[in-house]
Amino acid sequence: MDQLFPMIEKLNHLRFEAMYNNDFLLTWEKSMDELDSVFTVADALRLMREKNISAKIFDSGLGISLFRDQSTRTRFSYASACNLLGLAVQDLDEGKSQIAHGETVRETANMISFMADVIGIRDDMYIGRGNAYMREVAAAVQDGKDTGVLGQRPTLVNLQCDIDHPTQVMADALHIIHHFGGIEKLKGKKLAMTWAYSPSYGKPLSVPQGVVGLMTRLGMDVTLAHPEGYEIMASVEAIAQKNAAASGGAFRKTHSMAEAFQDADIVYPKSWAPYSAMEQRTELYGRSDFEGIQRLEKELLAQNARHQDWECTEAMMARTKEGKALYLHCLPADISGVSCAQGEVAASVFEGFRTSLYKQASFKPYIIAAMIFLSKVKDPQTTLAALAAAAVPRTR
């Protein structure tokens, strides 16, 4: 386990004290030291599992999960992270709870938290709702702790909201860090975050927003590309501009996929719905206007269909730096001729990066586990060293 000690030593030089007993809701609310500490602990936990050493810091407790949208990778990554640290996972099915009978957020948050150590929430469908709901839950459990209802306050982890997808983009970043050989190697690297055609409707904006919000923190040259009318939140663009100015990176926008791909080191072509349309959909759902929602869906599908040339093809990849850019996707991708007739990426491009994409996804359980670890352990260096010294085998 000699590889673990440089990671512990790195933590000795990072300031992450504010993460203890705190939530992880948006990447840009965390300092660079705090983000780097998540990457470092994630690598340490991954190393321990690979060496068959238990990383359990709990011998009981619950990780509550609430998914208001469908999920494969994030759902299983969260469950894996909780299990890695010794927590059992209990899914909150709102349809089977008293929420359906009008139970308040404050009441629900406290009732599920008596012996909970972490609450992971995915609420990404409605603009202005998801992150706000997470903060309402956070305030409720803090009140429960302050008034003595809860013996301890569970940590909230944002598993995707309307604004950001921290666990995804942090996993993406760690994949890039490993690919290029260190976080310091990312400065100046050109990343193209581009819209891509999809035959489906209403994909959230949180991945592209999370990418431009985080990668500009790392000193990267980030280009956001999309057809006219597919804007993301202006507030997130402003954050990306501010981050780039502080880190020495860059943030620019274009309406040309080809321009974004030109000489790029990394490309991230993914579909998303226009911000204005997501606002409209939220309003329609709020009025229970289901006919209006159906009309909006047809309009957006027709709008998407006008941009089928926004596809990550071999020709597009050839425009990247030496034709060898790293291709990223949060998955599942709309693969032309495989999962759909025409989609985000050509089958040959996807197949060429399939193993790399699976590796990209594999960082997410460790990122989530690191977020939990740093919130629950006051002295992670000592705890990691003790786990390594004890060397309790995970499997016997």
| Distance between CA atoms of residues 25 and 246, nearest Å | 21
- Written as six digits, the tokens of 346 are 């050509």
| Distance between CA atoms of residues 370 and 340, nearest Å | 36
Phi, psi of 206 (to 5 degrees): -65, -30
| Distance between CA atoms of residues 272 and 341, nearest Å | 18
Predicted local confidence at residue 100, as pLDDT: 58
C-alpha torsion sign, points 357, 237, 191, 370: negative
Predicted local confidence at residue 96, as pLDDT: 65
Residue 396: alpha-carbon gap to chain centroid: 33
| Distance between CA atoms of residues 144 and 139, nearest Å | 9
* Strand-pair category, 88-91 with 116-123: unpaired
- Dihedral of the alpha carbons of 334, 339, 340, 344, in degrees to the nearest 10: 20
| Distance between CA atoms of residues 93 and 77, nearest Å | 18
Dmax of the chain from CA atoms? 62
Of all helices (H) and strands (E), which one includes residue 348? Answer: helix 347-352
Q: Helix axis angle, 32-50 relative to 166-180, nearest 10°?
A: 70
Predicted local confidence at residue 396, as pLDDT: 79
Of all helices (H) and strands (E), which one includes residue 118? Answer: strand 116-123
| Distance between CA atoms of residues 345 and 3, nearest Å | 38
pTM surpassing 0.85? yes
Phi, psi of 195 (to 5 degrees): -65, 150
Where residue 367 falls (left for φ over 0; alpha for ψ -120 to 50; beta otherwise) is: alpha
Helix then strand then coil, % of the chain, to nearest 5:
50, 15, 35
* DSSP per-residue letters across 280-327: HHHHHHHTT-HHHHHHHHHHHHHHHHTTTT--B-HHHHHTSGGG-PEE
Query: What is the CATH T-level fold of the domain 4-164+364-390, as seen in this structure?
Result: Rossmann fold (3.40.50)
Domain(s) labelled CATH 3.40.50.1370 in the chain stretch across 4-164+364-390, 168-361
Peptide bond into 380 cis (omega under 30): no
Averaged pLDDT in 10-residue chunks for the chain of 396 residues: 93 98 98 98 98 97 94 96 98 75 87 96 93 97 97 97 98 98 97 97 93 98 98 98 98 98 98 93 90 92 96 98 98 97 98 98 98 98 97 91
| Four-way CATH pick for 168-361: 3.40.980.10, 3.40.50.1370, 3.40.50.300, 1.10.287.130 | 3.40.50.1370
- Written as six digits, the tokens of 282 are 């939220």
Q: Tell me the sheet residues that pair with 155.
A: 118
Of all helices (H) and strands (E), which one includes residue 36? Answer: helix 32-50
| Distance between CA atoms of residues 246 and 240, nearest Å | 10
- Written as six digits, the tokens of 81 are 């992270």
Alpha helices for 51-165 (secondary structure H): 73-85, 105-111, 130-146
